[in-house]
Chain A
Amino acid sequence: MNKIVFSALLVSLLAACSSQEVKEQPKAPVESRVPSAADTGAQTSGAQTQGVAVNPLKDPNNILSKRSVYYDFDKYDVKDEFKPMVDAHAKYLGKNTSANVAVQGNCDERGSREYNVALGHKRAESVRKMMNVLGVGDKQIETVSFGEEKPRAECHDESCWKENRRSDIVYQGE
C-alpha cells in the first residue's frame, strides 16, 4: 500500500518537475541549468517532451541535488555556506506543496550515543527552523535523528568525523 502511495507521489513530483523546469531559474550562486534540447544545439520543435526532463532534485547541476549540511564539532547551527542550499529546498517545497522532506541529523562517533541522538536532533531542527522562516510549514518537514548510529564514513579520525556531522534532506519517496 505504502509503495503505491510513494510511487504516486514520485510520479506527481516528476510531473510537477517537468512543468517547472522550463520556467524556473534557481537563484543560487552555483551555476545550475536544467539541460533541455535547445542547449545541445539541436533544433527541435515543440515544448519540452514529457518524461525526458531531468528531476531537479536529482540533477547534479542543480543545487537541489545537494542535500547535506555539515557542522563543526558540538555545533548545530547552519553555517553561511549552506544557507543557499537550504533556501533552494525551502523554495522548492513552497512551490511543491505535496512534497515532504525528512531532515535526518547525524553526529560523529565521539561521546555518548544518547547525547548524540539529542545533538543530531538539534542539527535537524536547525534546518527545519530555517525552512520555517522561509515559509515552509511543519506539515512538509519531519525531523529525525540517527545520532552517531548511521555514519557515512567509518574511520576513526577527523577525515571521517567531519563527514558524519551532518544533516541530510531526504524527500519522501526517495
Chain B
Amino acid sequence: MKFLRYMLLSLLVLPGAGYAALTIEIVGSGANQIPVSILPFVAENSLPQSMTSVVAADLQRSGLFKLIDASAVKTIPAEPGEVSYPEWRGRGAEAIVIGAVAARPDGKLDVRFRLLDVVKQTQLAGFSYTVAPAQLRLTAHKIADVVYEKLTGDVGVFSTKIAYVVKSGKRFELQVSDADGYGAQTVLASNEPLISPAWSPDGSHLAYVSFEKQKPIVYVQSLLNGSRKAVSQFKGNNSAPAWSPDGSKLAVALTKDGNTQIYTINADGSGVKRLTHSSGIDTEPSYAPDGKSIVFTSDRGGSPQIYRIPADGGDVTRLTFDGSYNVTPRYSPDSKSFVFVQRVNGASFNIAVQDMATWQVQLLTDTRKDESPTFAPNGKMILYATEIGGRGVLAAVSSDGRVKQRLTTQAGDVREPAWGPLLKNQ
C-alpha cells in the first residue's frame, strides 16, 4: 500500500492540566507599563488550577503591564467595599482585579471578578461566568482579555489559539494550542513535511500543504471532527493557501499551467480561476480584511518583491522597493499595514512592517533567520519562526517592535506558526 509512506493520525488529545507544549519567555517590554495587581480570588486555592496565575501570566507576557505582587495581601477582598484603595495606591498599582469562585451543586463553578480603578476608586468592569472545571483556563484568559481591553483600549487575544508545525527527526506534527502554549493538540501527524497552515476566518478549519503524496497538495481539515479534503491537487505544485475573509474561497499558488501563479478556488476545491499572469514566480497570496485585494510575492521584476492585485484580478501594483528580497506579506487586521520578511545586507532575514499609506518600512527583529510572520487578530503582536542555537523556535514581537517573546518546545523544531482568529461567542 502506498500509504505506508506516511502515517495519518488525527488525534484529538484532551488538553493536559498544566502542561505547556510551548514555553514562552519575554525578552523585551513595552514603553510605559501599566501597573496592575491581580489579587487571589476567594476560594481559588480549592481549584486544581489557579486562575489568577493564568491572568497574571497573560498580562505579564504582553509586555504592557507591570504586575504588582499581591501574595503578601493578608485578607482577600471579595467585594469592592473591602478594598483598601490607599494601600494599593501605596503599592503603585493603577488597577486591581478581585474575584471569587464558588462550587455549585451541579459540579460547575461560578466565577466572578471585578476590575477596579485604584485612583478613581471605581469599577471599570465586572463579569460572572458559570463554567465547567475544564473551562477554567479559558475563563482566566477571558478575564485577562477584559483587563487588557479596558486598560489599553485594544481587543485582547489571550483566549485565541495558534497553529504551528513541530518537526522531530522525520516526523511532522501540525499542532493547535492556546495562545500561551498550553493544551496542544495534534491535528495531523505525518512522516512527510507539512507547511503553510492557514486558519479559516471562523476558526473551524485549517488549510495546510502536505507532501505525503511526494508533492505539495493543499488540504482543508475540520478542527471539529478531523475530517479533511484535498482541495487542490492539480498537476505540479499546490501550495500557499490563503482564506478569503468571508471563508468562501482560497487563494493558492499552482504550477499546473507551467510556472508558479496565483489562482482562487472555492473552499471545497471547485471552480479554479487564474488570478495572476506573469512569466515569473507569483506566490504567497494574502487577502485584505475587506476581501477586495490580495498582496503577494512575485519575482516578475527580477527579484522577489511584494505586489498587490484586486481580488478579482486587474492591475498589479508593486509595493516594496528596499533591497532585493521581500517576501511573505500578510495584511494587518486593520488593513493599514502589512508584515513581511526582508533580507537585510544580503545575509539575514528579518521581520518588517510597511505602512500602506506612507510606504514607510520598520524593521522589527534582530534575530537572523526569520520567516512566516503571522499577525495576532488584534494586530498588536506578530508571531514568526526563527532559529536560535541551531533549533527552530517561534518568537513574537509587538507591532511597534518593543515587546519580544521567545517560544520553545521541549524537543524538536517548531516552525510555520499561524495565529487563530478572535471567536465571537465562546
Report which A residues bind B (CB closer than 8 A): 2, 102, 109-115, 117-119, 121-122, 125, 143-147, 149-150, 156
Contact = CB atoms under 8 A, between A and B. Distances in A.
13 contacts: A2-B2, A109-B369, A111-B325, A114-B284, A115-B328, A117-B239, A117-B283, A118-B237, A121-B237, A143-B255, A144-B215, A149-B193, A150-B211
Contacts of B240: 114, 117
A147 B240 CA distance: 12
B264 interface: no
Interface residues of B, number: 34
A5 B135 CA distance: 53
Nearest to A156: B390
B280 to A, nearest CB: 9
A121 B236 contact: yes
A150 B170 CA distance: 10
Interface of B: 2, 193, 195-196, 209, 211, 214-216, 236-237, 239-240, 253, 255, 259-260, 281, 283-284, 297, 304, 325, 327-328, 341, 343, 349, 369, 371-372, 387, 390, 416
B297 A115 contact: yes
Contact of A110 (B215, B216, B349): B349
A114 B211 contact: no
A119 B298 CA distance: 12
A146 B416 CA distance: 16
Given A110-B349, A112-B341, A115-B284, A122 B237 contact: no
Interface of B is mostly: strand
Nearest to B213: A144
A115 B281 contact: yes
Given A112-B341, A119-B281, 16 more contacts: A102-B214, A111-B325, A111-B343, A111-B349, A112-B372, A113-B372, A114-B297, A114-B328, A118-B281, A121-B255, A122-B281, A144-B215, A144-B237, A145-B216, A145-B255, A149-B195
A111 B259 contact: no
B369 A110 contact: yes
Contacts of A145: 215-216, 237, 255
B237 A117 contact: yes
B343 A114 contact: no
From A2, A113, A144, A149, name the one whose CB has the most chain B CB atoms within 10 angstroms.
Answer: A113
Nearest to B304: A115
Contact of A156 (B239, B297, B387): B387
Contact of A149 (B211, B284, B390): B211
A21 to B, nearest CB: 30
A64 B76 CA distance: 80
Contacts of A111: 325, 327, 341, 343, 349, 371
A75 B327 CA distance: 17
A111 to B, nearest CB: 6
A139 to B, nearest CB: 12
A143 B258 CA distance: 10
Nearest to B341: A112
Contact of B239 (A2, A109, A114, A119): A114
B371 A113 contact: yes
A29 B169 CA distance: 40
Contacts of B416: 113
Nearest to B2: A2
A2 B371 CA distance: 39
